[in-house]
Copies of this chain bind each other. A is one copy, B any other.
């Protein structure tokens, strides 16, 4: 393991380039040691973006979907051979347990592999037909056929610190499959894993020149380098989302933008549940898992739990007791279940957020009661899980507005389903909500009520207790994103992810010409 602050080279314009200046140090969030340095200072971004746009784009677009899918499959093989190194980097730079590192590392590789398979099925074509030809009038000689073609630009990814691997590949897979070159700017705190994965893929020579670039460090100038046919996909805070969407490239040049921001995701226990029911147990175990996986640093984690009013105390007790058993500390100790937050800055932010939430809630389980295992509280960014609660959820605003990006959630009682739906809506749009219920009809009705304010509704019933994919797990076949507060973006969802990287166009022409396009006229 490298513990001296060596600079991580950026890969841009088809060559490795070290940024100038002191850059920013990456640290081990548990031990406090220095790991590496990143800098994007002095890079010629215009050259790099032009190289990707011209060399990378042309090479990718010359291939069919099947050929590009083969590139993804080749990248999967490269990444698999280096898995051990990625786990070491994750432990050191993200402070995560092996199980949590897997969510990021293996989740990323799995998603890349998923798109390799999906893309293969698209076959040896370079564009997609969108629907069937439509007549423009009574005469069938002139019709309209919509097509989807790759945009002739680059895809810039400005990514979040919590998923340096998955966050790269869940976006890069559909972009590359679409024929669009990728430039990734990982979050600085955990940039190492992203940089290393890109380096391995580049060094293996499986991608055409310009198809994949990485810029670590400051994001200064990246948005300025965008042109009308480029796209930008951002994952992170609402504040940075605002900055990106306010940039001239977006407001004046119609650069397409996808935002996945934080949200106040919820869990809803069905009105007819009781404390001995299977669905109550399912809620408790799902919640405890969601609060502790990656120390709650997941944009999909449950932040608000709504239970029938009569179950508030029982839920508080049962969840609190389970949380009390969670070991917290150095992920290198195998007895530790929950590792570190990503940095001391993040720890400060979590403590500040908790202090705010506590002004409008009671503490049902206090994370401060957890002794740290093999970690110095003065150095490590570790914190125990905290369950808050409020008995008047309609009268308070903070639990519906303030997302503490750590192992923190707020329990709230509801009197009627209508009230529960109103409370969930106060999140102003979320990535995901989960239902705990054994009645398929209730699930279907509630899912439709909740659908317009969520990108995903996840229903857990006893019959799928063993097969359900988890409230917070983002699976590539389902949409990831959500309206309003959640940023309004759409990622994944199987081949739907390709839409963002394609342009739709209506080709109006003679039947003979549309036949040449392959249309079923």
Contacts and interface: CB of A to CB of B under 8 A. Distances in A.
A463 B467 CA distance: 58
B488 A256 contact: yes
Interface stretch (A41-49, A75-83, A183-191, A447-455): A447-455
Interface stretch (A320-328, A344-352, A503-511): A503-511
A252 B238 contact: yes
Contacts of A131: 494
A176 to B, nearest CB: 17
Nearest to A140: B467
Nearest to A427: B228
Contacts of A493: 146, 504, 506
B252 A478 contact: no
A-B complex: 4 closest residue pairs judged by Cβ atoms:
A228-B484, A254-B488, A444-B516, A459-B509
B144 A477 contact: yes
Contact of A242 (B126, B144, B252): B252
Interface of A: 126-127, 131, 134-137, 139, 141-142, 144, 146-147, 149-152, 228-229, 238, 241-242, 245-246, 250-256, 259, 261, 428-429, 440-441, 443-445, 447-448, 450-459, 461, 463-464, 467-469, 475, 477-479, 483-488, 490, 493-494, 496, 503-510, 512-517
A515 B477 CA distance: 19
A448 B147 CA distance: 8
Given A440-B509, A457-B509, 11 more contacts: A136-B475, A142-B468, A144-B477, A147-B451, A149-B448, A151-B483, A242-B251, A254-B485, A441-B516, A447-B507, A493-B506
Contacts of A452: 149-152, 229, 503, 505
Contacts of A512: 440, 461, 463
